[in-house]
Amino acid sequence: MGSYRMGRTTEDIKRELTAVLRELKDPRVANSMISIVRVEVSNDLSYCKVYVSAMEGLDKAKDAVKGLKSAGGFIKHEIGSRLSLRHVPAMVFEATDSIEYSANISRMLNELDIKDDSDEQFD
């Protein structure tokens, strides 16, 4: 399979996974602000590693991963019905703290006291 097609398939899976997550009723998933950070699909489309992050932190992401693993059959069925794939990959969910990390960096940058160059011109 060409690399352009693999990239397109990966993005399709990520898009549909995001839509399926909105439909899940598991409180571990529905009651948290989770996001799919990255999706990696193996070359033979047998496995799909999904990295999930939560705004509330790594512990909440790990809890959401437990909910996603329990709903794995439903998720795989929905992906199979929405995409025209010959073989739907097995989903492996991983928790990551990338959203919390980037929010922390953004907060630290906002706390810096940086003078604007236009203020110094008129002094």
Tell me the pLDDT tens digit for each residue of 71-115.
Answer: 999 999 999 999 988 889 999 999 998 877 787 888 888 888 666
Is residue 90 a part of any domain in this protein?
yes
What CATH number has the domain bearing residue 42? 3.30.300.20
Is residue 120 a part of any domain in this protein?
no
> Residue 123's pLDDT is what?
53
Angle between helices 3-23 and 72-82 (to 10 degrees): 120
Give the count of domains, the chain: 1
For the chain, counts of helices (H) and of strands (E)? 6, 3
Which residue range is the domain that position 94 belongs to? 3-113
Point out which residues pair with 35 in neighbouring strands. Answer: 53
Is residue 65 a part of any domain in this protein?
yes
Average pLDDT over residues 15-20: 93
Is residue 118 a part of any domain in this protein?
no
Is residue 14 a part of any domain in this protein?
yes
Is residue 109 a part of any domain in this protein?
yes
What gap in Å lies between CA 40 and CA 92, rounded to an integer?
Answer: 10
Q: For the chain, what is the mean pLDDT?
A: 86
pTM of the model: 0.77
